[in-house]
Amino acid sequence: VSNVDGSSACIRVVAHSEPAVAIPAVARAARRWEKHKNHPCMSPVLSAFSAHEYGGHALLCVVCAYHPLSVSLHESLAAPGNTVGVRRKLGEDATWRFACQLLSLIADVHANGLYFSPSDLHATKLLVDGSRVRVGGVGLGLALGLDAAQAETARNPTSVLARQKGDLLHLASALAMAASGAHVSDPIELCLAELSGPGGGVTPELIAFLRALAAPAAGGGVF
């Protein structure tokens, strides 16, 4: 809990060979997303510092917004008892709700010329808290050098539109996976085929929406 403004945060310990190098990178990521940090669907990195564990090894400690009741979208759909190979489905109403929430954030982000890392919109990184979904740890992948493609885009502004279109595909993939009860690594085509089958349990309108959401990556418009 901050002694400055009373806000809560969580500290995430990350294995990194050079914490002293990573700290400024995390600070740059925090500044990059500063304008969007108060969006209700945003949970960005805030800062970082180093610490030492027993034995003198340096640790990278990343400070993130704290949402104590949140679990990842993927985790929220685990079957009771975590039965292996069994997944629950998100449900159509929740899928529409999460789509509207996340598209409002993506629209704001794109309007400012920014884009997410592919990992930001992955089902294991989307945080669910009741009826609210958030994008967690935004900026961390690029700051820690985990997203080489995004680093290349930062050096090549002409690729920004392609990455923004990719945001919609990654969102469509996460939503299709959740709505179909598929495995987190299943491709979107498999998830949509499951939803289109007799046991899909969703309306044709949702399937058409998810297909349209993924279409920009194939050359259509962003919205």
Q: Read off the amino acid at residue 210.
A: L
Q: Tell me how far apart the alpha carbons of residues 166 and 106 are, in angstroms, rounded to a whole number.
A: 11
The rounded mean pLDDT for the chain is: 83
CB-neighbour burial class of residue 34 (10 A; exposed 0-12, middle 13-18, buried 19+) = exposed
CB 222 within 8 A of CB 161: yes
Kindly state the tokens that stand for 179: 């709505």
For residue range 63-98, list pLDDT tens digits in order: 888 888 889 999 999 877 655 556 789 999 999 999
Spatial separation of the C-alpha atoms in residues 16 and 157, rounded to whole Å: 28
The token pair that represents 29 in the structure block: 């990521």
List, for residues 166-189, the tens digit of each pLDDT value: 999 999 999 999 999 998 889 999
Q: Which of 32, 116, 42, 126 has the alpha carbon at shortest distance from 77?
A: 126
Tell me which residue of 46, 44, 42 sits closest to 63, measured CA to CA. Answer: 46
Task: Render pLDDT for 36-71 as a digit per residue (tens, 0 to 9).
Answer: 988 999 988 888 888 876 566 778 888 888 888 889
Question: What are the distances in angstroms from CA 190 to CA 141, 152, 186, 210?
Answer: 27, 30, 7, 13
Q: Which residues sit opposite 128 in a β-bridge? A: 71, 133
Structure tokens given for 217: 């990556």
Q: Is 130 left (phi over 0), alpha (psi -120 to 50) or beta?
A: left
Residue/partner pairs of 76-82 with CB below 8 Å, 24 or more apart: 76/128, 77/178, 77/181
Give CA–CA dist 33/36, Å, rounded. 6
CA–CA dist 208, 186 (Å, integer):
19
- Residue 118, both tokens: 């592919």
| pLDDT for res 37 | 86
Please tell me the distance from the alpha carbon of residue 30 to that of residue 36, in angstroms, as a whole number.
Answer: 10
Model pLDDT, residue 107 = 95
Could you tell me what percent of the chain has a pLDDT over 90?
37
